[in-house]
Amino acid sequence: MNHALQFYIDGQWVAPLGPARRAVIDPCTEEPFAEIAMGTPADVDRAVAAARRAFPSFAMTTPEERLALIRRILDVYAERHEDIALAISREIGAPLALARGWQANLGTRHLKELIRTCEAFVWQRMKGTTLITHEPIGVAALITPWNWPINQIVCKVAPAIAAGCTMVLKPSEVSPLNAILFAEVLDAAGVPPGVFNLVHGDGATVGTALCSHPDVDMVSFTGSTRAGIDVARLAAPTVKRVHQELGGKSANLILEDADLAAAVTSGVNACFGNSGQSCNAPTRMFVPAARHDEAVAIARDAAARHVVGAADAEGTTLGPVVSAVQFDRIQHLIGCGIEEGAVLVTGGLGRPEGLPRGYYVRPTIFAGVRPEMTIARDEIFGPVLSILPYDDEEQAVAMANDSVFGLAAYVQSGDREHARRIAFRLRAGSVHLNHPAWDAGAPFGGYKQSGNGREYGEWGLEAFLEVKGIVGYDA
């Protein structure tokens, strides 16, 4: 990794201004395998200054010029796809098939969807005699998480470029190497100096400096609700636009008319995907009380088919969780489930047999879960599923909506019209009917404490745009 101890600022790889370093840990072995430089507020200042200098000229480029740039980025990204997949697999422990087919591939899919969006987007229109025009918001601070790293980097950086913004990216210090590779992609694609800048660091130092910086016009943040509150507080004195995608505790409603075996199995697999480290994972499964025991048996069998192991081991479906901090938190919450009286169906505390090293978690299912239990309310961010019985649909909808979160929800039914009716009643930013294919053009974001604003497609582009009305333009 040639640039791991450098930052990308003003079109150049530069040395950091401070001496701090951080090891990148392989979660499969708990051993360091790389090292990155950690930034200071002074590094943030020079990155923001570069973005501010570049903004006036880049903002005046045409949408067509910026679309051509996105197309070049897509071409170079395709050339580096395998490098990015291998980096993500190593730094977060994602099985290679997942790293290639989903983690790295989501970058490709976002770029292609953005190209389609830009081709159809109406940048200017007349409303009577007033011209309505869209303009870039300015300098954007982009703060991204470790769990789907390149997905969140691309779905922020690419639309910011397409909008005409300049930016500073602070990726997660836990999974930073893919961000370095993406900076190399942008450099090779010819992104002008200062348009994109990369500074590594932690939230307390670099994140704080970015969110409070007077020359930053917008913060786009993906992470925990707790951290999102801090971001909003830091940004408030300068009245920045704050765009947040935060935590989730997504409900999966399996209705009476669903194919129970198919619905429960797909629900378990969706919950356990990426080792449960997805903010929109369906971690609360609601099943008819009369079929609770049947659902539990199906879920146990589905969990047993998962293979926990190293990212590069043949047959692995679940890699480790990303860090010791994450492992310890999951263990604590599994312990809460046991202590509060939930029925442990499979899994539980400790590592799986035969895996003494690495942050491996036993795929865990709890049954007979009550809505007030900690495991039904807190975001666990690991392969832990709670099954909650309901007496009727009114109770199911009420329990599903009884959460401080509202990122996603899932409905399983044999009757599409039935599923649609339930979908309109769920307080979530996206509702998935019968586990459909992933849609890069669907808006992504949440209600309540799951955040504000939306990403992907035209919503992701509009997030970085101001709307101006020129009154009397055609008087």
Residues recognised as catalytic: 245, 279
Q: Which of 104, 115, 98 is nearest to 149 (CA)?
A: 104
Pairing of strands 196-198, 166-170: parallel
Amino acid at position 240, single letter = K
If we measure between CA atoms, which residue out of 317, 275, 284, 338 comes closest to residue 92?
275
User: What is d(CA 94, CA 56) in angstroms, rounded to the nearest whole number?
Assistant: 40
Distance CA 372, CA 387 (A): 13
Calculate the alpha carbon distances from 356 to 310, 361, 385 in Å: 12, 11, 23
Closest to 318 (Cα-Cα) out of 360, 282, 380, 381: 360
Residues contacting 109, CB < 8 A, separation 6+? 440
In three-state secondary structure terms, 282 is: coil
Round to whole Å and give the CA distance between 42 and 281.
38
Closest CA to 465 of 162, 135, 236: 135
